[in-house]
Chains A and B, each alone.
Chain A
Amino acid sequence: MTPRQKRMAVVALLLAGVATAVGLGLTAFQKNLLYFYTPTQVSGGEAPTGYPFRVGGLVVAGSVRRDPDSLTVHFSVTDGPATLPVVYTGILPDLFREGQGIISVGQLNAAGVFEATEVLAKHDENYMPPEVAAALEQSGQRVPNYKEYQK
């Protein structure tokens, strides 16, 4: 091979590599993006059914109800105007409590209940998930002072 051909071979290899990487990246992206919806958007029918997404809001006070003999727990999240019922089986995070801002990953079932596969509450009690803060602001709610919830 002449040096020129060699160089072209290297360039071709590089291009092929980059193309494969981009292709893999884009497919992985398509399959694994999770969109965030507020309870208001969900009640407005904007959220998909049969496809996972994330939802966030404050846990409604008095809504947490546990099954007597399994690990299933029911609760609702709200962003002010709308409330979404959630069902989850498993261990809730340490900082999960009523009034706390949480984010949950899961799917909407036919009955309009959000079946969560994951519930996230942040480790710093002063910390509000940005999505939840934005959702509350959008619906004209005052972002609560977490210190007050502690007491």
Chain B
Amino acid sequence: MQLEVPQQSLLLLIILFPLGGAIINGLIGRYMPKGLVTVVGVGTVAVSFALAVASFIELYGLRHEAEQATLTYHFYEWFSLKLPAGDVVPVNVRFMMDSLGGIMTLVVTGVGGLIHLYSVGYMGEDEGYARFMSFLNLFMASMLILVLGSSVPVMFIGWEGVGLCSYLLIGFWYENRDYASAGRKAFVVNRIGDFGVLIGMFILVGVAGSFEFTDINAAAMGGQFRPDFPIWVSGVAPSLATVACVFLFLGCTGKSAQIPLYVWLPDAMAGPTPVSALIHAATMVTAGVYLCCRLSPLFITSDVAMSIIAVTGTLTALLAASIAVVQREMKKILAYSTVSQLGFMFAAVGVGFFAAGFFHVFTHAFFKACLFLGAGSVMHAVHAHGDADIFKLGGLKKDLPITRWTFLASCLAIAGFPLTSGFFSKDEILLGAAAQIYRRDDPLMTSVGWFTLIGLSLAAVMTAFYMFRLYFLTFTGDYRSADQSGDHPYDAHPHESPPSMSIPLIVLGIGALVVGFLGLPHVMPITGMHLPSWWSEWMHASVAGRPVPEELHIVNLASGLAFGAMAIGIGGAWVLYRNKNTDALTETIPARLYQLAFDKWRVDELYAAIIVNPIKKIATVAGRADMTFVDALMTRLPSFNVRESGRILSRMQSGVVQMYAAVMVVGVVAVLAWFWTPHSHIEATFEDTSVELTTPQGIGYEYRWDANSDGEFDTQWDRVPGTTFEYARDDIRGVAVFLSNVQSGVERRVRVTEDWTPLPVESVVPADLRSPHDTGFEVRVDGQDLLFRRPGARTKGEIRLPMGRDGRLGLARVFARPVVEATVEVRNAFGNTRRATKEIALPFSVDAPSHASLMPMTREVVR
């Protein structure tokens, strides 16, 4: 059953509060006292969180009544599109909170609020504090629009909005060119993903006829996305769902930092640590997973797309983990860890366990945010800027107890230590991979399942390993900057952070340990006991998914792998790094491999070589070519023409009189030559059955006519330029067919012989019935009649038109008339003569029974 509560204005207020805070702090923040900025900045988010809780409670209450409950709020109509079928698709600014959205809103406002609080301490001394708070609030508002939007375009506002905020926040300390560059990189790479979302959006609206998520999902479930995509290249046609999902997934790889568009995330560590925590751990990067979950009914219909997602997720998880293992800086490790964990989430989505993937989003928000804030705390403690080299740290558990314990809790969670949140979420994901293997759908799916399971297990090993490497090197052992030797050592006396920073750490740390219990697995491993899973119960309403297996062997496989991975990872790190001061990896791994991994597998360099630099080169060439080649073609070429031809022609202006006179003489001679011989042409006018032949009068001309061109002149030399004649049967030279176009009245004449002669197509066949090879009609004389045929017609046949009758052929009225020839001889005063002849088609029939009419038109249609 579905239940919808319309016009729940709380939804709008949730968004408006941070937005308002952003505007206030942005415009006048620099003139306000710091306390007021804090109140506005943090307060608005706190209010937003409270409103989110209120909405969630309402939603929770509704869930008892109906299976699917949503809160909606229609704000106003933004604009509308008109689809080719004629429907007008409105794009409304409308918000919606359902099960999925509710959780996400709570996470965004809750974790976000904590991070805002943290920023008070972390960024409080910064000169741009108000600006920072403003951007942070703007980010919150955008993220909330993304989460609460009920249609793809509204979500897209938030999607690009968080991209903008990312740009502004990563490059927050803009005086450092590299940081600003990192911000730009984030924006541009994200934009590539946005391209994918745009195209995907169009496919969605084309099929579903609406941008609203509910409508699209309904269409997907109704099978409307099953038909093949109309355009494809190779033999195998992808379905509409596949193409749409692939494009949307491209957007997800951009926003959620998967292969191939993850390269912006590590660079994004240039921003202040709260930014990394909020945007690049807890919220923005999960937007991609959120989108997939939102459209899960659609994604689930395309096996190909799901496989692509699963494989990409797994590969990303492996790639990023391998880089994280060898990094030396805290935030870098955490950044690659984020990418890797996102890979886990997408792998879960790819095997159809959307709710599990989203569960990992949920737990990841807690422990990753806690880790980043903890890193920030460490950096704040030792006055490190930008990032902290763990090999200059160590033994901080003494000075930073709160940070240490919360950091440890989160490390346990991310590694998947039993009963932590990460344990449950990671378990579910591996279970999904295992389920895919055992479901035995088809070879592709099964092999994807194996790949995912093995890959994620390996990644889990590496995850546990590098996280505890980080933990041990930072918090155990000796503080390596204590003696202030070496280059750029950190502060000799690190101190714990202020409460504004510690409280969020504690809250998040507890969360990292505890929230996992919301999503207990359906079947407990080993014992096989059935456990209640609040999470899947809650998510079921708005997120689709493949069935969770209950067979114990599958569950045990997944859990065993997860547990084993964690044990190996933590164990390895314990052995190599606990209370140690050097990096054992440099000794164990071959140097070249180590260097390659350290350099992020040189992917950035690869992109630069394959994509960025070639495009830049083309652009440079284009820039130069435009000014030189294109411009030259359009302007220099014509001006060169004009100038040179002018130069040549101006030689006529020689200034010498004789030259001018000579040209005049040439002209006079030419004119005289025209008059040497006489010129004439014949015109015929018809009156009844006699023809009047005339020719233009010339001075001193004499005329002699041979009206029927039989060789004998009918008149004598005379000054009169005309004569009349009546033609007889013997004078007829041939037949001409007249076509009179009924539409335009234009008349055409075709001389007809014994051979087939084509008729002009335009006169006969209407334009839109003409085919490209249409040769139209052909006509020939047969005795006394005319025969018409159409070579291109399906039915062969000929039409006969007797002489003297009229007919109708397509657009043309057809009549046949006899043709005669007249000759005139002209003589001028110089004694030169010239003859002119003309073929005349008589507009009447010489033989016709009644030849009183000039252009007889019978209405008979010849068949």
Q: Determine if chain A interacts with chain B.
A: no
Residues of B participating in the A interface, judged by any CB pair closer than 8 Å: none
Residues of A participating in the B interface, judged by any CB pair closer than 8 Å: none
